[in-house]
Structure formats: C-alpha cells, structure tokens
Chains A and B, each alone.
Chain A
Amino acid sequence: MSFSQSFRLALKSLRTSKMRSLLTMLGIIIGVASVIVIISLGDGMNNMINSEFEKMGANLLQVEVMSPSPSRTVKDEQMYALAQENPGLIAAVSPNVSVRATVKVGSETYSASVTGVGEDLPVIQSVELTQGRFLYYVDVDRMQNVCVIGAWIDQEAYNGAGLGQTLYINGYAYTVVGVVEASDPDSGPTSYNDNQVYIPYTNATRLNGNATITSYLFAATSDETNTRAKAAIESRLEQLLGDEDYYMVISMSEMMSIMGDITGTVMTVLVAIAGISLLVGGIGIMNIMLVSVTERTREIGIRKSLGAKHRDIRRQFIIEAGTTSAVGGVIGIALGTSLAKLVGPMVGIEAAASGVAIGVAFGVSVAVGVIFGYLPANKAAKLNPIDALRYD
C-alpha cells in the first residue's frame, strides 16, 4: 500500500467529515496549542531574564563585604591589586558605592540612584553611551565632580540636552559628561540604568562620610574562568577578613543558571499538565479509529481479497491516525503561536516559539496518532477476509 495513497485518503476523509474530524483532533489541538503557548511564553520570559542579566554583565561577580571591625576591612587598592595579579581570570574591577543623596536640577528634585564606580565599569556591565564619555581614571583619581547620567534623567531634567549641564548631588555641583543609552525608549525610571547617576567612587565615599567600601563588581575574563575567578576572589577575601561569614561573592552566571533551573522546572510541570490533553487527544483518535475500522470492515475485506497483507492494512490505518493527529498538531501550532502572540504583550513578554519547540510539538502529535492508532490498525489487520467481506 503506497504511503501517498493512504495519506491522500486520510486527508480526503478528514475533509469530507469536518465536524467529526475536528472533534477527533480537538484533544490534540488543545494539547499542542497549550504546549506551544507555555513554551513560547516561557522562552520569552527566559530571554527577557537573560537579557536583563546580560545587561548587568554575564561574567559579573558581585562582592559584598561585611567588615567585622574597622580594623579588618577591604580596601579598594587591595581589590585592584587582586585584579592586577590575576589578569587571566579577572578582566576588570570596580567599587560599587551607593549614595543616599538627593539629586537636584535647578530647584527640581529627581528620584535618581547615585552610584560611585570606577572607570572600568563599562568593561563589567553594558553601559552604552549616546553622548559624551564615561568616567576617566583621572576623574576618579582627582575626585573630579563629574557624572554620567541615565537616559531617563537626561530626558526628564534636560529634555535630552543634559551633556555639559550641571546637577546637584547633596548640594555639590556636578558636570554631566556622558549620557547612557535608554534600555527601553518608552520605559520610565524603573528600568535598570535609566535613572542612574554615576560618579567617581572616590567622590561617593566622601559623600558617604568616608565610610569603607563594602561592595565591588568584578568581571571574569570569560565564561570558562568565571568559577576560577570567583575562587580567587574568595580566597583573597578569606585571607583579608579571616572568616567566610564576612563576605559574599555572587556569580551572575550562577544566578542565571539558578533562574534557568527554576523557570525550566516550572515549564516542565506546565508542559506535563498540557501533555495530559495530548493523552486525551490520543485516546480520542484511538476511539474514532476503532469506529472507522468497524465502519470499513468491508473495505478491509476487499483489500485483503486483492492481496493486502497484515502490514499493508496496518500501515494504512496507522498513516490515517498519524495524518489526523498531524493535522490536529498543525492546527494546534497555528492556534498556539497566535495565542502566544496575543497574550505575550498583555503580560509584558515577547513570546518566542522556537523552531525546535514547533518541530517537537509536531513530532509529538504525529507520534500520539501513530501510537494510539496502532491498536485499531492492528485490529483491522487481523480481520478474517471472508468475515470482513460478508460484513454489512
């Protein structure tokens, strides 16, 4: 029995009894559509999380120090030295000093977050400038009153013309030397970077009343050196502080993989639930195939009388079941992708159904048809030709 004829016959019978076909395929359609929606939204969410992490620096190692006493602290020179001693592991380091400060332009106060950093921050995190420059070594070294501002502040306070203007941090005048690119053109100040004011960390410590620096950002040289860089930093901190309770090194790639694990688990559970619908769909196909075998007993008898073997009949019915579920799968994929496109923006996720997900969904739906079609097909194959021919 040729494959193409079985396939064509299956499509024909799907078309001639549309209502019945639709009901047969419903389980598959719903199952595949929900799997596609879940995977699309899940992948979209993963992409979003990853790009946020990426912005913060994929090879970022964040160090938090909790000094037990004023005598046992970590100094910025020590951290810079650490970086210099391990050029193969550490690409850059920057202190990270948050300042609780009011930011004023003219008489207007803006809710900005002021952070003192080193000149190498752009090596560690993505800081794309649209105008001007980032902080220089001399700015840090000489404690110059210069700052780099986020796009949102530039927009709000200066209408986009902030470069060279002055803003006041706790009353001190700072000159804007650079503007950071907006992470999202229309978003508010909430987006990372957009309401930042970067100043030299030396200025920041002074604004904080010469408090010791408790937070540093490191960049490992690559994905591969991440773990070793982390170990190097930890051993130095151990040496300086004497106890692992006094510091913490957070690796962004570790965080990313933890997040990935969590979303992966959630998605697996959801897909498994949707899979139940596929199972129900398979049973629906099996049911209708059993009916079809009974209805077509005579046809089976005729085919057998003309020389169809067991495997010919079995193959015909399996192809039919596979075609039915494949068509259901295609409808489900179409439904799922359009649903994901519709729902995605509502929950703020750009849905991304990967080709692999679509391919797998299609493959699974065909497999469901073939597996659940096997039993009815085998029943058809085993019919006795005379009984089948006599059947009305």
Chain B
Amino acid sequence: MSHLIELTDVYKIYHMGDTDIHALDGVTIHIDRGEFVAIVGQSGSGKSTAMNIIGCLDVPTSGSYFLDGVDVSTMEDDQQAEIRNRTLGFIFQQYNLIPKLNVLENVELPLLYSGADSVTRRQAAMAALERVGLAAKCKNLPSQLSGGQQQRVSIARALAGNPSVILADEPTGALDSRTGREVLAFLQELNREGNTIVLITHDNSIAVKAQRIIRLSDGKVIYDGPADDPKAVVQPHEPGEEGEAT
C-alpha cells in the first residue's frame, strides 16, 4: 500500500538575482496514515517550504508529491484548493483566524468551501468546538479570546472538515510554555484517535513528543527516524537550536 504522503526527490529553488536558493534540495519523505511526525531544523533549513508543499499551498520546482495516491505537484490552483479543503487541516503559528468572523463562523469556513449545507456546517463546527472545549465561546470574536484559546479555535477549524492530515507550523510558537504543552497534548490525543499529524517546530522538547522526527538542514533531510533515538536530537553542526523562528 502506498504512503499517505510521498515526497520524492523534491527540489524547491528560489531565484534571487544571480543566485539560486535551494530551499529544498532533493527531499524524500514518506509519511503513513496515523503517524505523528515532527519536522525540525534550524531557521532557514526549509521546514516551512516543505510544509507549504505538503499542504498544497505551493508546488515543487521538481520532484513528485503524491498525497493519498494522487499526484498533486502539478495541479491547478483550484484543484489544490479542493485538496486543501478535503484532505488537509492547517494550524498556524499566528492562529490565522479571521477577526471579523466569530468563533463559530471561523470554524465553519472549511465546510463552507466544501459546499456543506448550513445545518451540517453548524453541527460539524459545534462538534469540533466541543472537542477543544470552546463550544461556550462560539459567538465570541477571536479578539475576545486568549492566545491559547485562539489556537484551540484554529485546531477546531482544522478538525471541522475531518481532514486526513493535520499540518501544524510552529503551533506553539506564539504561546507560553504551559499553554504550548496543552496544545501539544491535544495534538497527541488527536493522533491517538488516528489522525495523521505533521508538526513543525524548532523546539526539541516539543519534537520528542512525536513518534518520528525528520531533521532538515539546508534543504536536505539529515535525520529521519524514531523520536526516542538519541541521534534525533543531536545537533550535527550547530549546538543549541534556540534561534529565532520565523
């Protein structure tokens, strides 16, 4: 059986004047259904670039990407939008809630774009909000919630469309460590329930909570293995990875 996510020899090259930046330099990553994978690496190592490609927000310069058996690397914008809508759930560092919409309306958005009717939308959104324990706040605006609550709303939004993969780019980056741990615990719970989770972080203490760690450096995979392997957290070149994450 094929993998859920299959990146094969993927390059992402940005042309900056005369120089080419290899944000991804021949990356091959396979992720199966039900895995909890942490992608780690220094700032600028290509984590977000990889995430954008996995998330169908971007296409590779070369190489192939199969998601759930479908080649998505050559798709049109609107086809990618449909894949994002059906198969992927995003959790961003900055929550990315729409400030003018209330919590419920925000969570309903993926269902709105999938063409669900209003009753289904409401039910699915409320169920997702209940899971993150924020059903009571459904009529609030995002600005009326704490950072941790907002991130939980964005998790609910990612869950609402019942996606195959949840992609989280530094989901705890903007939270204090305690709230960050709560969010992480929640992701672990989702994983235990069978969700596939791909998490980006530069924080080793968070990464080790995943089952598997993929370490990137200069656009290349330099480690791909279990999170409890001592090599997973070893810094081959530069010790200490507290550097700014962007």
- Which residues of A approach B to under 8 Å, CB–CB? 1-2, 5, 9, 12-13, 298-299, 301-312, 385-386, 389
Closest B residue to A381 by beta carbon equals: B77
Tell me what chain B mostly uses at the interface: helix, strand, loop, or mixed.
Answer: helix
Contact between B118 and A2, CB atoms less than 8 A apart: yes
Residues of B within 8 A of A308 (CB): 81, 113
Which of A302, A304, A305 is the most central at the interface, judged by chain B CB atoms within 10 Å of its CB?
Answer: A305
Main SS of the interface on chain A? helix
Whether B81 pairs with A12 at a CB distance below 8 angstroms is no
B74 → chain A, closest Cβ, in Å?
Answer: 16
Q: How far is the CA of A312 from the CA of B78 in the complex (A)?
A: 10
Interface size on B, residues (CB 8 A): 27
Q: Is the CB of B100 within 8 A of A13?
A: yes
Binary contact readout B68-81 vs A (1 if CB under 8 angstroms, 0 otherwise): 00000000011001
B57 touches A1 (CB 8 A): no
21 A-B pairs in the complex with CB atoms less than 8 angstroms apart? A1-B112, A2-B112, A5-B105, A9-B100, A9-B101, A298-B96, A304-B57, A306-B84, A306-B157, A307-B81, A307-B82, A307-B86, A307-B114, A309-B77, A309-B78, A309-B82, A309-B113, A310-B77, A386-B52, A386-B58, A389-B96
Taking CB atoms, residues of chain A closer than 8 Å to B84 are: 304-307
Residues of B within 8 A of A305 (CB): 55, 57, 84, 90, 96
Tell me how far the C-beta of A380 lies from the nearest C-beta in chain B, rounded to whole angstroms: 13
10 further contact pairs, Cβ within 8 A, besides A298-B96, A302-B96, A309-B82? A5-B105, A301-B96, A302-B97, A306-B109, A306-B113, A307-B82, A307-B114, A310-B78, A386-B52, A389-B96
- Distance A178 CA – B113 CA, assembled complex (angstroms): 79
Residue contact A306 to B85, C-beta cutoff 8 Å: yes
Q: Decide: A304 and B98 in contact? CB cutoff 8 A.
A: no
CB distance from A279 to the nearest CB of B (A): 30
Task: Please report which residues of chain B, range 31-74, place their CB below 8 angstroms from some CB of chain A when the two chains form the complex.
Answer: 52, 55, 57-58
Q: How far is the CB of A1 from chain B (nearest CB, A)?
A: 6
Inter-chain CA distance A299–B57, complex, in Å, is 15
B219 CB–A CB distance under 8 Å: no
